[in-house]
Chain A
């Protein structure tokens, strides 16, 4: 095991900062990588919103540079490319690397008292595989005909050569495959590390909930990324080698009778767990942050873990609700409707425990805490609106409208992002040895949550009004013209939301190099990661710590003046 002997710290720049096997360096690599892609995906979102509010007007400032042939106007093909790449980038290259790659790598070994991941080399490979995937995806923007325009879901037969020519779609499938492979490597590493490398004395119930969230995510990654991988392989074979897994005989001569719906099954068997792959780490982080900053033990720890486990299991058996309009067998649809609704029970238990955790606490409203509380608000909105879409008879109307867009952005995008922001503000001092500005952080929070709520709640209204998603121009259909004013509201709020993220970028970069030096445990919490010096020494722990207490022992009556206790100390009898 890696803990048995300590290698000396590498001295060359390449080994230390680029091809490092140290989980802390890899965590930072994932963080920078993910943040840069979030910026790219965010700019794409801004362009999408510009086009929707001002169909056919040239994009200000950057339009002339990006769309020179049309004088800065986004044409329908580029528009389709923008929302396709926005979705792909945000999910696979933005949120996944930040939440799972960066905070998974940072938190797991430090929080369980390990010197590194159990497979450090695999860990490095995981980062460089996702980097390669990102490079392939980026390269696809520059091939003839440009990047794919078939949507992030890539449904055949639109995504086969029947609907999409050029190499963009093929490269997209290769990129998704590579990113999936990276997640599987990470998942295997996380699971094995958590099982094998917990410090002596650390029972499963002594792990911070962050680690639990990452553990369940890793399990889902290992189970379901192979499914999207195989779906992508079949798609690549259909596109490159002329097979017809997804192409029915009736529409292409020479095709031997494939089925486009097969892809939808494969995609959503992966796709629905993917929602939970992104949200489970955020849930774990939020559950910890609420306890840390309410100075209260996490309410119903074991029930919370049980609820996260239940969500993990259920996430695998509800995917059919993405396909209610495909014409699936009625009884199958009804089963998926029931199973989907059952997920609301563990979901509600999590809310119940979070709200109970802060009840009668002693709340320190730091920026991290604000974002954790924000998740309750944002995920509440997103989760509850899922009920409309789980119900077949309302989903038939709402499917593929902006209602769905609002719903999944609030759940898998905004909630996951809020978790990531909370985690960034929280772990930053240990990661970079400096404090982020709380003043700017709070400003960032308020300027994010207000426009974000307006953006996605307006989308609910547009969707209820019947506005289909993925439309280049909603004013083209008579039915949609009276809804156009909603697009204007959404777009203006989205610009404010996007601009507010510049405050975060500024805060992050300024604090990284010029922020005030952080003390070893600025938040006064007891988990192992905050008990070590800042910056964290190479190989983390000189002596592997012995764990004697749970992670959330705050405000114990016998603790005296200090309201927290390190996990390495015993609670007073």
Chain B
């Protein structure tokens, strides 16, 4: 009988036990992750020409969205705090179906569309036309072209070398490390050997899928030199989380020296018999 009665009383102990579980798990995991690294609450500083536009638009949207959400919360809280049921008090009888109400709805909708959507849309279109979709001309001397062949689980890169042509002996080949010049547009051709991967340069604010069977195009222009991470952003199987590489951005003089040397070494290492290494394709625009 006591057991039955306890079913109906407020189960303080059960609730306490329920709450204690995550705390216990939390203590277990706190020890496991104690790490001595600088914490970050956002991305690293942008390192490409897209960076400023991205940051601007991101924070513009954040401002608009925060203000909208604050308005919703206030309009939610006022009736919850003010309009609780009290004895003898009746709700205001209103179907909200008058012409006045419909006009009010229409005006608010229009304001929302113009302020939230149209504003963002206009900025985004400008950014796209001037940025992501303003793909640099391939025949421009300044454009540094790279072919990217993704595979489970590595990034293969091919640059033209000194002769400016793909598929020749002096092509600079590398795996998981890509060296590019600072302040020059880097144009990418991406494809995959097996499954879909996504080439993600978080510092450059660039991401593009590498699809098997087709060549995809992307570009960016680094404005900071240094070493940055390359990540895979599309689930590609077992070691998806380990499919990362390094992007090295070099100053003009340093880069030119590196390119000449790398191209010379490439010629020396070229093996006409090794067909596996001859995967270049005709440049796609």
**A interface list, Cβ under 8 A from B:** 50, 53-54, 57, 60, 76-77, 80, 149-151, 155-158, 162-164, 247-251, 257-261, 294-303, 325-327, 330, 334, 337-338, 341-342, 344-345, 348-349, 351-353, 355-365, 373, 376-377, 380-381, 384-385, 387-388, 391-394, 396-397, 399-401, 439-440, 443, 447, 461, 464-466, 468, 470-488, 491-492, 495-496, 498-500, 502-503, 506, 510, 514, 552, 554-557, 563
Contacts and interface: CB of A to CB of B under 8 A. Distances in A.
B218 to A, nearest CB: 8
B90 A327 contact: no
A470 B32 contact: no
Contacts of A363: 79-80, 83-85
A496 B22 contact: yes
Interface in B224-275: 228-229, 231-242, 244
A294 B44 CA distance: 47
11 contacts: A54-B28, A80-B237, A341-B116, A353-B96, A373-B80, A392-B128, A393-B53, A400-B207, A400-B233, A473-B241, A476-B242
Given A325-B198, A388-B61, A150 B235 contact: yes
Q: Which of B4, B132, B241 has the most CB of A within 10 A?
A: B241
A555 B117 contact: no
A519 to B, nearest CB: 18
A484 B80 contact: no
Given A260-B211, A479-B229, A54 B40 contact: no
Interface string B79-116: 11001111001111111110001100100110011001
Contact of B238 (A80, A399, A483): A80
Q: Which of B112, B193, B213, B240 has the most CB of A within 10 A?
A: B213
B33 A54 contact: yes
A482 B39 contact: yes
B112 A344 contact: yes
Contact of B208 (A300, A325, A476): A325
Contacts of B198: 325, 399-400
Given A387-B61, A397-B202, A503-B18, A342 B117 contact: yes
B40 A476 contact: no
Contact of A393 (B22, B131, B237, B239): B131
Contacts of A400: 198, 200, 207, 233-234
Interface residues of B, number: 110
B93 A556 contact: yes
A364 B57 contact: no
A298 B91 CA distance: 12
A263 B28 CA distance: 42
Q: Is the interface of A mostly helix, strand, loop or mixed?
A: helix
A495 B231 contact: no
Given A363-B80, A466-B202, A344 B113 contact: yes
Nearest to B206: A396
Nearest to A258: B213
B207 A396 contact: yes
B37 interface: yes
Given A384-B68, A387-B116, A495-B21, A326 B211 contact: yes
B43 to A, nearest CB: 5
A506 B14 contact: yes
Contacts of B237: 80, 149, 158, 163-164
Interface string B30-47: 101101011111111000
A485 B32 CA distance: 12
B69 A474 contact: no
Nearest to B216: A327
Nearest to B26: A492
